Amino acid sequence: MIDYLDFTTPQWLVNYYHSIGILSFFLNFYTFFLLVFISDKIDSLKYYLFSFQFICFLVDIHITLLMQPQPLHPLPAGYCTGVLSGLLSSHTLMTVLMALMATEIGALAMCFLRKFLAFRRMKRVKTSIWLLVSVVLGLVVFIVFIVSNLYFCGLTEDEEYRIINQVILVG
């Protein structure tokens, strides 16, 4: 049984976020350097890889600097202590994170699609434009579906306090 829960922000976790953020910052810019200056032989694939790397960079910055989620173990709950935590709710920050992650998945899928098309061209096989349009449209629908579902699952602050009061009065 849990005797008490500590709701203070663990300093080790904030330090962890900062160290991971600094490390990922340098690794991302090293990858940007490689894509821009060293990758001459991969033609237009480097633009797809660059977009994927840029989205990864945005996810890293969002998690380690702007959001900084603080879990409340063993409860399925948490709060945020990042730069944007004073301006936006934790639910909104999590929705932005899911939008970035879904876009990251879409950018990775576009990289795979680009390589697939390159292999099809090497085999001299015709590829239908409708296949490409359906894949891109499917990715857009996937992103909109994930983000809108998560956004509309949120409660207002008044509803959250009402539920907390009900739990306290029952318990």
| Averaged pLDDT for residues 36-55 | 88
pLDDT in tens, 118-158: 888 888 888 888 888 898 899 999 899 989 998 998 888 78
pLDDT in tens, 73-85: 777 778 899 999 9
Query: Looking at residue 79, what DSSP letter applies?
Result: E
The domain spans of the chain are 11-170
Lowest mean pLDDT among 9-18, 36-45, 52-61: 36-45
Q: Can you give the pLDDT at residue 165? A: 82
Structure-model confidence comparison of residues 102 and 78, the more confident one = 102
Q: Can you give the pLDDT at residue 84? A: 95
Task: Provide the b/e sequence for 94-115 (b: ≥16 CB within 10 Å).
Answer: bbbbbbbbbbbbbbbbbbebbe
Quick check: 86 and 104 in contact, CB under 8 A? no
Asked whether the bond before 10 is cis by omega within 30 degrees of 0, the reply is no
Ramachandran bin of 4, using left for φ above 0, alpha for ψ from -120 to 50, beta for the remaining angles? beta
Q: How far apart are CA 134 and CA 161, in angstroms?
A: 44
